[in-house]
A and B are shown apart, each in its own frame.
Chain A
Amino acid sequence: MDGIAVHGLTKRYGRVVAVDDLSFTLEPGRVTGFVGRNGAGKSTTLRMLLGLTRPTAGTATIAGQPYVALRDPLRHVGALVDPSCFHPGRTGRNALRAIARAARIGDPRVDTVLELVDLQEAAGRRVGGYSLGMRQRLALAAALLGDPATLVLDEPANGLDPDGVRWLRALIRGLGAQGRSVLVSSHLLAELAQAVDDVIIIEKGRLVAYAPMAVLTTDGESLEDAFLRLTGTTQGVAS
């Protein structure tokens, strides 16, 4: 099982501290929600974990190695970082085939993941004509290409309609049930609460809480209430 470990991870942009000495180790085979406000440092943390952003300090490893040191990384980690990272002139199938070729993954797997995300009928169309929800599904398909043991998903529900959100929840639960580790960031707390085993809460780049969902929401408290309580903010919460 490929575990994720983050130790003292810090990212500064000039005087702005996006991520501040963040540390956590994910339990393998569990679905973990990564929660924080806009600008809390979720995406920056995930990008550092995936080798897309250089940390100012600290380490982020998967299976004991930085992402950039992994051999055949897509077979270890599947990642969704930006649904708009496809060439609009390329068809959905070819967008995935380009990624698969670089990762030495055969074309039959492309059709398998297209079916998994229910995009097989649109696979021959150019990505430029896709809705945001379809691009999100395509990005999820790209994450699943290598059949990885670990998935890192940054706001996967963005752009999905209610049916899509329900489908995504079932997909994430299914991935967890298969024994995969899933780290999923979202600000849709009510939705996230239905799909995750554990929750990491960050605020201003710092770790606020990391606990099983059941512990965070004792006494019938919702994840949203727990989040607002733990981050010291209660604006907009009816008494």
Chain B
Amino acid sequence: MTAAISAELFKLRTTRGPWIIGAALAALAIAALAFFAALVGDPGQPALLPAVLADLVRSPGKLAGAAALLLGLLLTTAEHRHRTVLTTRLAQPAVRTLVVSKWAAAALAGAALALTVEMLMFAGGVALLASRDVAVQPMDHGIPTAVGAVVVVAALHAVAGAGIGELLRNPALAVGAVLGWSFIAEGVVPALLQDPQSGRWLPGGAVESALSAGLPHDAAVLVPAAGLALLAAYAAGLSLAGLSRAKLTDP
């Protein structure tokens, strides 16, 4: 299993796609940080307080999740698109071992991606606070919890992405399905059910609640632990569906 995970991580880092995703995420984080630094403290804008550091590390949560999901999708769909699945299966014919190693590699890569952007936001936030003589309190305001939540949410997104990729196999179809779900289904389902609160049980709602870890509880979302568990259940369901397809169909 270790060899298979190592091979999957090697595949990720020897193509350009994952690096482009990482660079785009870092660029967006830096741009957001610069924008925030330019505005904060101005008249009519929030004051620069020590608690701002927590907001900064929490802010890239959804974006890091989306990037990790894309990373997971790439890990599996690229195998089918470029037919590398043949050499992969020849080297590791045990389908379950292979698919589980992909989940593990996706989780590690997604967590690493999120951790990198968190470190970037944290370092930028610390520099901003220090430059304006505001106290830096890295262990307060739920900062460690927020960082942990962002990293775990990203890892789960990556596993879900790997599952969706294995299930659909076609990169365009997989990305289209994810976008369709995020921008259409997440809005339509609560309307169809005539229950605005039902959205909290959907993947988007689960992410929202998981990323609220360390914040005062908002009744509109699930408690963070429940949100995290629900997100893990979605990731597990998609991954198992992908595993089933891999076991039932020839490469």
Q: A: which residues have CB within 8 A of B? A: 47, 50-54, 67-68, 70, 73-74, 79, 81-82, 84-91, 94, 97-99, 101-104, 142
Q: A53-B250, A85-B84, A86-B82 are in contact. Are A98 and B90 (CB under 8 A)?
A: no
Which residues, 1 to 30 on B, are CB-close (under 8 Å) to A?
3-4, 6-7, 10-11, 14-17
Closest chain B residue to A104, Cβ basis: B3
A102 touches B88 (CB 8 A): yes
CB distance from A28 to the nearest CB of B (A): 21
Q: A85-B86, A87-B84, A142-B87 are in contact. Are A101 and B3 (CB under 8 A)?
A: yes
- B78 within 8 Å of A by Cβ? yes
CB distance from B223 to the nearest CB of A (A): 41
Q: A68-B93, A98-B10 are in contact. Are A81 and B86 (CB under 8 A)?
A: yes
CB distance from B30 to the nearest CB of A (A): 26
Closest chain B residue to A103, Cβ basis: B91
A54 touches B250 (CB 8 A): yes
CB distance from A151 to the nearest CB of B (A): 12
Q: A97-B10, A98-B10 are in contact. Are A89 and B16 (CB under 8 A)?
A: yes
As a 0/1 sequence over residues 217 to 251 of chain B, the CB contacts with chain A under 8 angstroms (1 = contact) are 00000000000000000000000000000000011
- B94 within 8 Å of A by Cβ? yes
A85 touches B87 (CB 8 A): yes
Give Cα A144 to B235, complex, Å.
38
A99 touches B14 (CB 8 A): no
Contact among A52, A74, A94 for B14, CB-based, below 8 A: A94
A51 touches B89 (CB 8 A): yes
Give Cα A98 to B4, complex, Å.
9
Chain B contacts of A85 at CB under 8 A?
A: 82-87
Contact among A52, A84, A99 for B250, CB-based, below 8 A: A52
Closest chain B residue to A74, Cβ basis: B91
| Main SS class of interface, A | loop
Chain B contacts of A87 at CB under 8 A?
A: 11, 15, 78, 82, 84
Chain B contacts of A84 at CB under 8 A?
A: 83
Chain A contacts of B82 at CB under 8 A?
A: 85-88
Highest count of chain A CB atoms <10 Å: which of B3, B85, B91, B251 = B91
CB distance from A46 to the nearest CB of B (A): 12
Closest chain B residue to A96, Cβ basis: B87
Give Cα A98 to B16, complex, Å.
15
- B92 within 8 Å of A by Cβ? yes
Given contacts A99-B7, A101-B10, A102-B3, 7 further A-B contacts (CB under 8 A): A52-B250, A86-B84, A86-B87, A89-B16, A99-B87, A101-B3, A101-B6
Contact among A54, A82, A94 for B83, CB-based, below 8 A: A82
Chain B contacts of A82 at CB under 8 A?
A: 83, 86
Chain A contacts of B15 at CB under 8 A?
A: 87, 89-90
Give Cα A229 to B89, complex, Å.
38
Chain A contacts of B84 at CB under 8 A?
A: 85-87, 98
CB distance from B207 to the nearest CB of A (A): 30
7 A-B contact pairs sorted by A residue (CB < 8 Å): A51-B89, A52-B250, A82-B83, A85-B85, A87-B78, A102-B7, A102-B92
CB distance from B215 to the nearest CB of A (A): 41
Highest count of chain A CB atoms <10 Å: which of B10, B86, B88 = B86
Chain B contacts of A50 at CB under 8 A?
A: 90
Chain A contacts of B91 at CB under 8 A?
A: 73-74, 99, 102-103
Give Cα A168 to B82, complex, Å.
25
A91 touches B250 (CB 8 A): no
